[in-house]
Amino acid sequence: MNFFARHQRFRPYLLLAGPFFVGASGYLGNTWLSGSSSRPALSTNRVFVDPSLLDRPHSALGTKSYDLSLRCQQMARLWRTRLGDGCAAVAFPPFVLAGDVPEEELRRRYEATIRPAKNAMSRLYFRTPPCEPVTLLLFSNETRYHHYTYKVFGDGARSVYGHYRSRWRTVLANSSTGNGTVIHELTHALMHADFPSAPLWLHEGLASLHEEASIQEVEGGVKIVGYPNWRLRTLREHLLRENPPSLAQLFQEQDPRMERESLHYAQARFLCLYLQEHELLVPYYHALREVQPHDPFGEATLQRTLGITRWETFDEEFRDWALRLDPPPAPQPLASLE
């Protein structure tokens, strides 16, 4: 006799509780895709834009497809209806911006942050632009972010900051956590179009690198440059232990456990920062994109880029470099951000 036959009186309770446990397990499994469980101060999640970039006229971001423009306009109308009263939506092909703020604010956010960041990342990394609309849902605070996530998708938000849903090519962001949250998730969306099979550590490493960054005008265009941020504290805590973790685990743990999540993010971010400082990040990205079917986790390509054969020989150099980094600025009191 099976369990249900022997315990019929418990069946109604199991049927009621089942969806809760399924939803809870899905939520916990998905938090890996959206960041560490520890929260940084809001003031440490920033993207700085060179003011001279804001004086340039509006750009279509290289998109010339009338069909894509039309689809973006249609998608904007859909989001206005779907989000409901008090929300706005506007199309900037290949993007659709929507949220619980006036249309003028969405336009300002696009011109001030999203357009410069997209141009900078495309110039350095992404050669293939999105061919379908990419939606960015920007909400003014954590409460509204959670409310509209449930309203639109019928489930919980995967992070207090933001997350990217690749199936729907949609970014959801709690804008009160800073521009870095939006740029982090925008990186995922653009990489999804350009390099959909990129290894998870590179996806999260590059996106996390852009949490604390500046967008600068340089000869030939613009570039985005990452800086140390709050994840350095997590990395140093592990590097100062008696047996510090090896970078090799980035490639061995493609689905890390929750207790290792914050370390995995920190290692991925600061490995990308190390490559950036040594002018190796851009060539590594392009090299791996070409050979990735033969190097699915990017380890062999990275060893060739760094000129090493064993991770043990590089771990000590990386450790010394990370411990010499200047710490990020002290966070401001939250009251000053109101």
Q: Report the pLDDT averaged over residues 239-256.
A: 83
pLDDT digits 0-9 by tens, 64-89? 445 999 999 999 999 999 999 999 99
pTM: 0.80
For the stretch 17-64, pLDDT in tens is: 444 333 444 433 333 333 444 455 554 566 665 444 434 433 434 444
What is the Cα–Cα distance from 40 to 269, expressed in whole angstroms?
15
Say if residue 218's pLDDT is above 80: yes
Q: What is the CA radius of gyration of the chain?
A: 21
Give the pLDDT confidence score for residue 54 in this predicted structure. 39
**Burial tier of 207 (Cβ tally within 10 Å: 0-12, 13-18, 19+):** buried
User: Hey, which bits of 140-243 come out as E strands?
Assistant: 162-165, 170-174, 213-218, 221-226
**Domain coordinates in residue numbering, the chain:** 40-197, 228-326
Return the pLDDT at 44.
58
What is the model's pLDDT at position 324?
96
E runs forming strands in 220-281? 221-226
235-247 pLDDT per residue, tens? 999 999 988 999 9
CB 90 within 8 A of CB 99: no
Ordered strands of the 95-99 beta sheet: 88-92, 95-99, 134-139, 170-174, 162-165
Name the DSSP class of 121. H
Compute the mean pLDDT over every residue in the chain, rounded to the nearest whole number: 82
Q: Tell me the CATH architecture of domain 40-197.
A: 3-Layer(aba) Sandwich (3.40)
Regarding predicted confidence, which is higher, 272 or 251?
A: 272
